[in-house]
């Protein structure tokens, strides 16, 4: 079989261009067994049969049932004792589910996983590592926690068949595979990490999880191109895909849910990387805002929404005269094409000439924000730096800016107002279209509704 390494499209013959995603030269050859997904052999088959009988949480038999008789009650979740991870997963691990934790190498996936299982001493966990030695894992565990329970078992193994043997002996309640690219099965004649091996091993672990009721957590490396070991193929197999993002040069890490069959994909978890592990950030606004920026130009505070969590983020801009002829446009943590559009709006609709000036934009904290409500704060920060006039302390704003200079409405405006009020802000600029049906009496913060960019800038700078 031929599989597209970019989107997972399957074909019986090789194709130059993928008909699904349009990628060229992306089809890779994989071998598919007749008993695909269940590696043959008495050891594995026996392990799966005995596991189904051993665990009390095994699902009911697969028989046809009327739709109206199926219960809609939530399945019992396994608490991870990590508020951020629980939020992203939808409440914890679902018995029998298979979760993929993806991210670039060195971002902290193994640290997050080991830290989580050390917080669950009531569970018997099998941690399978194909990359590190047991000594390295013990050193990391001692750095993360001073109390290491007896319920965590570490196995350094690359053979899927031998892993099943140890699962049968230990009877774990949670299995962690670190990482899926290092595991290989004897049924596929290719090296570990190839698309064939990853697909066969992941499908076999899926059968084990569904048959025994034991949740399986897979860790997978994903490079910038997204082609290493076919991550799209893994996404089709697993129940939940969570992405661990962040810059290695910054202390903040973001946990996003890309696919979740048991919860919402709009949730977001934020961590702070420290010497003793990852710390949960329950209120990211206080960490992302500089405490003392009074009197500094080019700084604007925006009330943003990432997922369903509101937080305030600091937008920094620097405008200077172009010294080398061609003006530079640089954005960190913000879409550069959108920055160019906003600068054109600022020049055409407001009348500020920035054609011969360099513009640098930075989102403080190393975060990458995609919320359209950042537009108003970007324009305010650029103009503040251009005229070298600071924005008064206590002001924040949110609003999407259109090409004609109008301030368009944003979503969840009441959550944005409440977050700004909670952090002690005195004034907030909002799109006038969002004020319909909102009572300003219940807020102590002063609300300034605007329809155009000029009105917002007039309120800020007079």
Q: Write down the mean pLDDT value for the chain.
A: 84
Lowest mean pLDDT among 85-89, 176-180, 289-293: 289-293
Which percentage of the chain shows pLDDT scores above 70?
88
Contact in structure between 39 and 160 (CB atoms under 8 Å): yes
Distances (CA, A) of 335 to 304, 343, 367, 435: 15, 13, 12, 28
* Best CA proximity match to 31, nearest among 227, 141, 194, 255: 194
Lowest mean pLDDT among 58-62, 106-110, 236-240, 268-272: 58-62
213: left (phi over 0), alpha (psi -120 to 50) or beta: left
Tokens of 356: 């011969």
Distances (CA, A) of 345 to 139, 299, 348: 55, 19, 5
Contact in structure between 300 and 459 (CB atoms under 8 Å): no
Q: Name residue, tokens 């067994």.
A: 33
**Over residues 152-164, mean pLDDT:** 93
Q: Which of 48-62, 304-318, 387-401 has the highest mean pLDDT?
A: 387-401
**Over residues 210-233, mean pLDDT:** 73
Instruction: Convert the pLDDT of each residue in 415-461 to its tens digit.
Output: 999 989 988 899 999 999 998 888 888 889 999 999 999 999 999 98
Look at residue 129 and tell me whether its pLDDT is greater than 90: yes
Look at residue 89 and tell me whether its pLDDT is greater than 70: yes
Contact in structure between 210 and 55 (CB atoms under 8 Å): no
**Per-residue pLDDT band at 301 (split at 50, 70, 90):** very high
Q: pLDDT at position 249, please? A: 66
18 Cβ neighbours under 8 A, 6+ residues apart: 4, 6, 7, 9, 24, 26, 27
* Best CA proximity match to 28, nearest among 14, 40, 7: 14
**Over residues 223-252, mean pLDDT:** 72
> What residues form DSSP beta bridges with 96?
none
**Over residues 279-301, mean pLDDT:** 79
**Over residues 193-200, mean pLDDT:** 81
Look at residue 232 and tell me whether its pLDDT is greater than 80: no
Tokens of 149: 């329970």
Look at residue 46 and tell me whether its pLDDT is greater than 70: no
**Over residues 79-105, mean pLDDT:** 90
Give the Cα separation of 44 and 35 in Å (integer): 13
Instruction: Convert the pLDDT of each residue in 162-191 to its tens digit.
Output: 999 999 999 999 999 988 888 999 887 777
**Over residues 22-48, mean pLDDT:** 60
What are the helix (H) ranges across 93-133? 109-118
Give the Cα separation of 410 and 106 in Å (integer): 36
Burial 412-450 (b: 16+ CB within 10 A, else e): bbeebbbbbbebebebbbbbbebeeeeeeeeeebebbbb
Q: pLDDT at position 116, please? A: 93
Distances (CA, A) of 110 to 66, 91, 94, 193, 420: 43, 21, 20, 18, 35
**Over residues 396-406, mean pLDDT:** 94
- With 0-12 / 13-18 / 19 or more C-beta atoms within 10 angstroms meaning exposed / middle / buried, residue 220 is buried
The better pLDDT of the pair 59, 155 is held by 155
> How close are the terminal C-alpha atoms of the chain, in Å?
67
Which percentage of the chain shows pLDDT scores above 90?
44
CB atoms closer than 10 angstroms to residue 142: 10
Q: pLDDT at position 230, please? A: 53
pTM passes above 0.75: no
Give the Cα separation of 419 and 424 in Å (integer): 9
């Amino acid at each position: 079989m031929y599989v597209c390494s970019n989107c997972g499209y399957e074909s019986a013959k090789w194709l130059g261009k993928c008909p699904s995603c349009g990628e060229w030269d992306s089809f890779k050859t994989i071998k598919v067994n007749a008993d695909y997904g269940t590696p043959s052999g008495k050891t594995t088959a026996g392990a799966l049969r005995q596991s189904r009988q051993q665990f009390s949480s095994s699902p009911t038999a697969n028989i046809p049932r009327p739709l109206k008789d199926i219960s809609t009650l939530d399945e019992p979740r396994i608490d991870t004792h990590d508020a951020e991870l629980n939020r992203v997963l939808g409440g914890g691990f679902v018995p029998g589910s298979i979760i993929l934790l993806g991210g670039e190498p060195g971002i902290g996936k193994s640290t997050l996983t080991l830290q989580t299982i050390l917080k669950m001493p009531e569970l018997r966990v099998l941690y399978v590592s194909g990359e590190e030695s047991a000594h390295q894992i013990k050193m990391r565990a001692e750095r993360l926690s001073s109390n290491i329970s007896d319920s965590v078992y570490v196995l350094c193994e690359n053979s899927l068949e031998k892993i099943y043997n140890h699962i049968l002996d230990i009877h774990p309640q949670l299995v962690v595979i670190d990482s899926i690219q290092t595991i290989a099965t004897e049924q596929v004649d290719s090296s570990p990490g190839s698309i064939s091996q990853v697909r066969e091993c992941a499908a076999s672990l899926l059968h084990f999880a569904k048959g025994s009721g034991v949740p399986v957590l897979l860790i997978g490396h994903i490079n910038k191109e997204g082609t290493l070991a076919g991550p799209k193929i893994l996404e089709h197999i697993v129940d939940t895909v969570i992405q661990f993002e962040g810059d290695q040069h910054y202390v903040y890490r973001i946990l996003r849910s890309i696919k979740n069959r048991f919860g919402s994909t709009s949730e977001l978890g934020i961590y702070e990387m420290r010497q003793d592990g990852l710390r949960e950030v329950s209120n990211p606004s206080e960490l992302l805002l500089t405490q003392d920026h009074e009197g500094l130009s080019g700084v604007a505070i925006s009330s943003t929404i990432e997922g369903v969590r509101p937080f305030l983020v600091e937008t920094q801009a620097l405008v200077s005269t172009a010294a080398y002829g061609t003006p530079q446009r640089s954005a960190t943590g913000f879409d550069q094409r959108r920055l160019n559009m906003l600068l054109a709006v600022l020049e055409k609709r407001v009348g500020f000439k920035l054609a011969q000036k360099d513009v640098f934009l930075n989102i403080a904290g190393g975060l990458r924000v995609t919320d359209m409500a950042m537009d108003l704060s970007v324009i305010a920060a650029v103009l503040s730096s251009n005229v070298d006039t600071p924005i008064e302390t206590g002001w924040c704003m949110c609003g999407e800016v259109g090409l004609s200079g109008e301030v368009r409405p944003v979503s969840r405006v009441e959550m944005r107002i409440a977050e700004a009020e909670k952090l002690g802000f005195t004034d907030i600029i909002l799109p006038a279209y969002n004020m319909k049906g909102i009572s300003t009496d219940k807020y102590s913060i002063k609300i300034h509704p605007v329809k155009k960019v000029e009105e917002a800038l007039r309120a800020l700078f007079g």
